[in-house]
Structures are given as structure tokens and as C-alpha cells.
Structure 1
Amino acid sequence: MKLAWSAERASKAYIHTVQSCQNFHESGVAEMISAMAAGWNTKLIAETWSQGGVISTSMGLSIAKHYTGGRHVCIVPDERSRSEYSSRMIETGMSPEIMVGEADEVMNDLVGIDFLVVDSRRKDYHRVLRLAKLSNKGAVLVCKNVSSKPDSSSSFMWRSVLGQGSSHKLVRSVFLPVGKGIEMAHVSPTGVNNLVKGKRWVRHVDQRSGDVHFIRT
């Protein structure tokens, strides 16, 4: 069994997120990530967040959860972050699960993650990725705020995160020029080298400029 794509779910989540996040900064990132999480019908969505971070990505992931019937869990480092995150999400009418602690303290309790979003500005994001207990059916890993240009070493980064002993293999990775830059990777189901044959196109509209981008993933 592996992740199965639904363009209809992705489109609904995308539009829903556009409508919900139009007053927030970096909404373009939220829309893209929401569409991807919903489109792949992910059942356990996890993300990291720290005090002062933008909330729109979390909104997009909560919207995606609505279309997949799964869980959305946010990992925060301390109680101050938990309090701020909770109050800001309540203002939006959303209430994802919150786990407090460092990566090695909380990741053991999250088994079967199939969509994980980390922020490269959080110093332990590599550790979060390495410790994640991914779903046997494969997973999508997202790192936001990476840079303004594609990094030629991104494939190496993902392979180093997965590790030689991992039962999951890197299928492909892609840089998306959305927001401050997103690196996204697909990893295979346990013991399988390829998730899908060929590539898929994702339509993204920049809400500020009106430009339409078709991104191949």
C-alpha cells in the first residue's frame, strides 16, 4: 500500500486555504502545503512550530486534515510556544493537537507520520527529520524557509536525513520557489524504491502578483 493522489482533494484544500489565509503573510506557502497534504490523503500530519512563527501553514494543514479525516499534530519546544500557538489557532477557529518537548522527547509518540513539515530556522529541524517514525506506506517531507535558490546538495541532505539503515528510500526531491523556498521530498513505502511512475503537476497562484505557476513534483 502507498500514498494515493487525489487532485479533487488537493484543489478543495487549496481553495479553502486561499479563502482562510488571505490576510496572513506567507499564505502562498500555506496553500501549497495544504494542497499537497490533502492531495496525498495523509492521515498523520505533523509540523514543528516555535514562538513568533507564522500561523498560516498550520491553518493550511488543519484544513487538509478536514479533507483527509486524519490527525494534525504540532510539535512545540516549550510551554510559552504552546500557549501562543494555542491561542492564535483558537482565534482562527482551529485546534490541532499540540505536543510539547524537544524532538527526541516527542517523536517516539508519533508513529506512522506520512506528512511532516519542519522550519529550517528551527535549529533542530534535521534532528526532527531523522527521528520521525514514518508511515510504512511512504511519506512526504517538507522543509520551509530554506533559501531563495535551489540547493544542489538537497538530494544529499535528504539522503543523510533518512540514513543508510532506513527502511525508507528517497524517491525524489524538489525545490519549490514559493515563499522563502520549500524543499520537498518523497520517500518510498517500506522496502519499495519508487512511489509512482512519472511526475505530477501542481498549480499555484501567487496571491500578490497574480502569477500562475505549474510545479512538477
Structure 2
Amino acid sequence: MAMAGWSPELAMDAYLHTLQLCKQQEEHADDASDSSSSSSVVMEPRSMEYIAALAAGSQARLLLDVAPAAASPATAVALAVAAARTGGRVACVRDDPRSLDGVRRHLHRHGLAASADFHLARPSATEAAVVRQLRCVDFAVVDASLERCGGVLGAVDVNPRGAIVVVTNVFQEETTTRRSSGRVCSYGQVVGKKGRATVLPIGRHGIEVTRVGGGSSGAHLQPHKKVVSTPKRTFLVCDDGSPS
């Protein structure tokens, strides 16, 4: 089943909900400013709001969140907000039981756990193996900080009628897996799927958004001419193949 198209109402509703959650988190952080608890800062407002609005507005029904153990639950919260509005479900995948339990507790605290499923990856069943069990994913978010990011992206079974794949933290200052273009992990470069890719200066290290399927059979991933990255902004310059 394909995503039902764009819904500005659902997008706005999800945006406002995540905005409210971020404000509540800021107030909580202020109240607990003297606390050493690492759970006091988990929200990433711009990234959360954008992802929640995009997923809800696209009316995604099967959503996927894959991140390393050290990642905050922010993306899981954003996707759960969207899933609660579309009547869908978000699959949260982590390779550490404490991290997965932290995501579960955080969603429960915000009344969002009912829209989520929790999957623990193990040495015998890696993140990619877990992801491969999910069929026709409408909206996937994969953190480029994952050690096996490429394998996870390649394992995502996107809905052929339309899907969106988001890669977070695509630019990072210190990494041994950095490619010559400066990007750590790109869906188009890893998978080579047809679609339209855009890199946005959102979050700490930028995000890549790729739309695949949805009837755009003639559209391919835009060939990247040059990628320019600064500490605060990331820009993608594409060559559309037209004669100069």
C-alpha cells in the first residue's frame, strides 16, 4: 500500500506537537540544570519538528528508526508523533538493551509507546538483519553514526509505490569512514535507488532526504556535483545534467 499523499493538516499537527514537547523538555532541563543526569537533554528541536512533520504529512504507515546506542531518543519521539497521527507504527531498532529500554521509557513518558515496536539487534541478528524483516517501509530514518550504516540502508525494503529515506548526521567532523565528498553515509551512494535526494542543514551534522518510488519512474538520484560543508551549514549543489 502506497502512502496516501501529502496532508498539510497532519504535518502541522505533528509539527506543533513536537514543538510543544521540545518546549516542555527545555523547561525540564532548566528545572534540572543542577542535575548530572544525561537524560535531561535529548531533544533536537529543528530536526525533530522537520522529521515529524515530513513523516506525518506524507501519511507514512510503517516507519523505521535505526540509531546507535549513544543516540538520543529524539528521532524515535518524532516518528512516534507522526505514527500516532497516521495510524501507523514505528519500529525502533537499537543494538544495546539499555538504549532500547531508554527509548521505550521516553516514549511511554510522552504517551507515545502505543505506536511503537522495539527491536533489539544482537551479534547473531544485526541491525540490518532486523531491518530486513520489515516489508514495504514508508519512512525510514537511519543515523549515519552507525558502524554498519551502509548495511542497514541496503537492508531497508522501501515501499515501491513511494517512500522517504532520511539519513541523519551525514556530515561529521571526525570519522574514519568519511568519503572524498565529505559525506559519511548516503542512501543514493550506498543503494543506488531511483529517487530525488536533498541534503539539508538540519540537526547537528545535516540530514539527507531521499524520495523513492511514488510514480517518479523517470527520476533518478540527482548526480552530486559538489558538496560544501561548513561547521554550521551544509549545502548540496547538484548537476541536473542539462547542457551549460
1:192 Cα shift?
A: 2.4
Q: 2:213 — aligned with what?
A: 188
Percent identity, aligned pairs only?
A: 30
1:92 Cα shift?
A: 2.4
1:85 aligns to 2:103 (yes or no): yes
Q: 1:162 — aligned with what?
A: 191
2:50 aligns to what SS in structure 1? helix
Q: 1:135 — aligned with what?
A: 159
1:147 Cα shift?
A: 2.2
Q: Highest Rg: 1 or 2?
A: 2
1:62 aligns to 2:51 (yes or no): no
1:62 Cα shift?
A: 0.7
Asked if 2 retains the 8 angstrom alpha-carbon contact of 1:148 and 1:177, the reply is no
Cα distance in 2 for partners of 1:136, 1:174 equals 19
Corresponding letter in the other structure for 2:83: K
Q: 2:242 — aligned with what?
A: none
Which of 137, 141, 145 does residue 117 from structure 1 map onto?
141
1:81 Cα shift?
A: 2.3
Which of 175, 186, 200 does residue 176 from structure 1 map onto?
200
1:190 Cα shift?
A: 7.8
How many residues in Structure 1 have an aligned counterpart in Structure 2?
188
1:5 aligns to what SS in structure 2? coil
Corresponding letter in the other structure for 1:105: A
1:88 aligns to what SS in structure 2? helix
1:58 Cα shift?
A: 1.3
2:166 aligns to what SS in structure 1? strand
Cα distance in 2 for partners of 1:86, 1:2 equals 28
1:5 aligns to 2:6 (yes or no): yes
TM-score by length of 1: 0.77
Compared CA separation, residues 108 and 25, structure 1 to 2 (3 A) = closer
Cα distance in 2 for partners of 1:148, 1:127 equals 19
1:133 aligns to what SS in structure 2? coil
Cα distance in 2 for partners of 1:79, 1:64 equals 24
Corresponding letter in the other structure for 1:73: A
CA deviations 1:179-199 (Å, max 9, x no partner) are: 22111111114882349xxxx
Runs of 4+ residues deviating >6 angstroms: none
Q: Does 44-53 or 64-73 show the bigger shift? A: 44-53
Q: How does 1:6-21 map to 2 (within 5 A)?
A: 6-21=7-22
* Larger fraction in strand: 1
2:104 aligns to what SS in structure 1? helix
1:70 Cα shift?
A: 0.9
Q: 1:97 — aligned with what?
A: 117
- Cα root mean square deviation, aligned: 2.6
Compared CA separation, residues 25 and 173, structure 1 to 2 (3 A) = same
Cα distance in 2 for partners of 1:190, 1:54 equals 35
1:14 Cα shift?
A: 0.6
TM-score by length of 2: 0.69
Q: Does 36-45 or 54-63 show the bigger shift? A: 54-63
Corresponding letter in the other structure for 2:20: Q
1:132 Cα shift?
A: 0.7
Cα distance in 2 for partners of 1:134, 1:188 equals 9
